[in-house]
A = this chain, B = another copy of it.
Amino acid sequence: MAGAILAIGNELVEGRILNRTSFWAARQLLFRGYEIKEINTIPDEPALIEHYVKDFLNRYDFLIVSGGLGPTSDDLTNAAVARALDRQIIRFKEMEKRIREREKAYGLPENPLRLKMADLPEGAELLTDKHPMAGYFLKLKEKLLFCLPGVPEEFEFLLKEKVIPLLEKFLPLKGIFLFKLFKLFGLNEAEVNLALEGLERQWKNVSIGYYPCTPEIHVSLRIKGSQKEEAEKLLDKVSQKIKELFGPYIFGENEDLLEGVIGKLLLERKETLALAESCTGGLVASRITRIPGSSAYFERGVVSYSNEAKIEILGVPEEDIKTFGAVSEPVAKAMAEGVKKLAKTTYGIGITGIAGPTGGTKDKPVGTVWIGFSCKDGTVAQCFLFPGNRHTVQDYAASTALDWLRRYLRYGTLIPGYQFTCKH
């Protein structure tokens, strides 16, 4: 069962807006066994829309079109879809009513342009009864066509709540298709490659891939089968093998985030965390506090960008900064310990480094980062030399700090061995 996504919008194809939703949709569909074969992004041009609606419906089982359903002159999807299917455009009375009601509710004057949203291809079935820009679908013999609004919130809601259930109803999967993602941190691509070599050939209908999502590496596992129980057994078996291969390097599965995983672990243990960040500039705190409910375990963070902040708030000895520099083992330790003491938390993490592009020296080149970790077992620090530009160094440092905490929470490892560790 394979489909395509056609995303319509000048703002997309001009690179002004990243087409996130199409890729998000592809992942959601894959988790449910529906494969997307093409994600094409095109401008608001009726001829192109018509061409691809025909072409994709000819080659695939289903097509999801997004964008161009609104009331402005740029919104050309409905007419182009109707032409592609050789159908009339019909005024949908139900939709017209909703538009008028909405105008009233918002105190807007009746605008005839808005009624464009009620002019849909004959045979269209509305996806919701709520919003004027509702989206619709069309059953075409053995194929399905969905037209969704491009607005991310609406697109995502309709995909999860309407499109996937409709696919499962009208285009049920022939055979079983299972998909699982393992998320790894702390190995490089070559190491993952080596470990996986020849693995998938041990089984039939198993396909294993991997891909760097810097600074993480994701390993994908795909099982095809005809019987559910058998396929699930195989999934468990291969998953077990992958877990044995990568053990503590696996921090999560599927949609897990590193900051979500440590959040869960801290919650379970009723423990708390405080951060002292220098070169990551609040990135770790920001990632942690993106997770709902993080206030239960995240007490505070200090972005001690200046030396004064390190000394005044965190109690880093001025002498240490003078003698060893701000990017050094004693300073990383003092930051971790200082913030833990100040916040009275179970854990304290301190990060100090040179993210670049300037500030590097021969001894401490750009990418040099000291991370300090303080817990009931004491305070330790480790030096890293991360690759890449400023953002990459910051991302590596933030993920390393988070993963270090995860390793300690899961395995009690006080100093995990990582790639990019450097001897100092």
Q: Write the residues of chain A forming the contact surface with B, with a CB cutoff of 8 angstroms.
A: 10-20, 22-30, 35-43, 45, 48, 74, 153, 181, 209, 211, 213, 218, 220, 275, 277, 279-286, 288-290, 292-295, 298-306, 308-309, 312-313, 342-344, 356-358, 388, 390-391, 394
Contacts and interface: CB of A to CB of B under 8 A. Distances in A.
A281 B286 contact: yes
A281 B290 contact: yes
B299 A301 contact: no
B313 A309 contact: no
B10 A15 contact: no
A242 to B, nearest CB: 16
A285 B300 contact: no
A23 B19 contact: yes
Protomer copies: 2
A295 B305 contact: yes
A284 B283 CA distance: 9
Contact of A285 (B45, B282, B357): B282
Contact of A16 (B15, B29, B218): B218
Contacts of A42: 37-38
Given A38-B42, A40-B38, A286 B289 contact: no
A282 B305 contact: no
Contacts of A280: 286, 289
A36 B14 contact: yes
A38 B342 CA distance: 55
Pairs of residues from A and B, 7 with the lowest C-beta to C-beta distance, nearest first: A281-B289, A15-B27, A282-B285, A282-B282, A301-B303, A15-B26, A300-B309
19 contacts: A12-B39, A15-B23, A15-B28, A15-B29, A37-B48, A38-B40, A277-B282, A281-B290, A282-B283, A283-B286, A286-B286, A289-B305, A292-B358, A294-B305, A299-B309, A300-B304, A300-B305, A301-B302, A306-B343
A346 to B, nearest CB: 14
A28 to B, nearest CB: 8
A295 B36 CA distance: 45
Contacts of A281: 285-286, 288-290, 294, 298, 301
B13 A38 contact: yes
A18 B12 CA distance: 14
A23 B27 contact: no
Given A39-B40, A282-B289, A299 B308 contact: yes
The CB with the most chain B CB atoms within 10 A, among A16, A35, A282, A391, is that of: A282
Given A281-B294, A289-B305, A289-B394, 15 more contacts: A11-B209, A13-B38, A14-B30, A15-B25, A19-B39, A38-B40, A280-B289, A281-B286, A281-B289, A281-B290, A282-B282, A282-B284, A282-B285, A300-B306, A308-B343
A198 B15 CA distance: 25
Nearest to A14: B30
B15 A18 contact: no
A24 B13 contact: no
A292 B356 contact: yes
Nearest to A392: B153
Nearest to A44: B209
Contact of A301 (B38, B181, B305): B305
A36 B10 contact: no
Nearest to A309: B300
